[in-house]
Amino acid sequence: MEPQVKRLKTWHAVPMSEMARNTFNPIRSIVDGMKITPNPKKPMIALSIGDPTVFGNLPIPEEIDEAVIDKIRSHKYNGYNPSIGYEEARQAVADYTSSHDAPVTSKDVILTNGCSSALDLCITVLASRGQNILIPRPGFSIYKTLGESLGIQVRFYDLLPEKSWEVDLKHMESQMDENTAAVIVNSPSNPCGSVYSRQHIEEILEVLERNRIPMIADDIYEHFVFSENKYHSMASVSKTVPILSCSGLTKRFLVPGWRMGWIVVHDRSNAFHEIRIGLNSLSQRILGPNSLVQSALNDILKNTPQSFYAETLEYIEDNAKLFYKLISEIPGLKPVKPQGAMYMMVGIDTENFTNIKDDVDFTEKLVSEQSVFCLPAKCFQYPNFFRIVLTIPKEKVETACERIKEFCDLHYNGDSRSYISC
Ligand X SMILES: Cc1ncc(COP(=O)(O)O)c(C=O)c1O
Q: Is 281 exposed, middle or buried (0-12, 13-18, 19+ CB in 10 A)?
A: exposed
- To ligand X, the closest distance from the beta carbon of 130 in angstroms equals 25
Answer yes or no: are the C-beta atoms of 384 and 358 closer than 8 Å. Answer: yes
Residue 3 near a copy of itself by CB under 8 A: no
State the pairing for strand pair 166-167/153-160.
antiparallel
The partner in contact with residue 72, picked from ligand X, a copy of itself, none with C-beta cut-offs of 5 to 8 angstroms by kind, is a copy of itself
Other beta carbons within 10 angstroms of residue 42's beta carbon come to 13
Q: Are 200 and 194 in contact (CB under 8 A)?
A: no
Q: Which is nearer to ligand X, 291 or 370 (CB)?
A: 291
Q: Which of residues 207-246 bind ligand X (CB under 6 A)?
A: 218, 220
Near a copy of itself in 123-182, by CB under 8 A: 124-129, 131, 145-146, 149-150, 181
Q: Is 113 in the site for a copy of itself (CB under 8 A)?
A: yes
Residue 305's SS3 state is coil
Q: Which residues touch 168 (CB under 8 Å, ≥6 apart)?
A: 157, 158, 159, 160
Q: Does 417 bind a copy of itself (CB under 8 A)?
A: no
φ, ψ at 340 (rounded to 5°): 180, -165
**Given 38, 193, 248, 332, the residue binding ligand X (CB under 6 A):** 248
Binders in 276-315 for a copy of itself, by CB under 8 A: 277-279, 281-282, 284-294
Instruction: Specify the residue, 42 or 76, whose C-beta has the smaller distance to a copy of itself.
Output: 76
Which spans in 155-286 are helix H?
169-174, 198-211, 234-237, 273-286
Amino acid at 227: S
Asked if 116 interacts with ligand X (CB under 6 A), we say yes
The answer to whether residue 59 forms part of the interface with a copy of itself (CB under 8 A) is: yes
The correct pick among 38, 256, 288, 376 for binding ligand X (CB under 6 A) is: 256
- The answer to whether the beta carbons of residues 213 and 249 sit under 8 Å apart is no
190 binds, among ligand X, a copy of itself, none (CB under 5 to 8 A by kind): ligand X
Give residues in contact with ligand X (CB under 6 A): 50, 114-116, 140, 186, 190, 218, 220, 248, 250, 256, 261
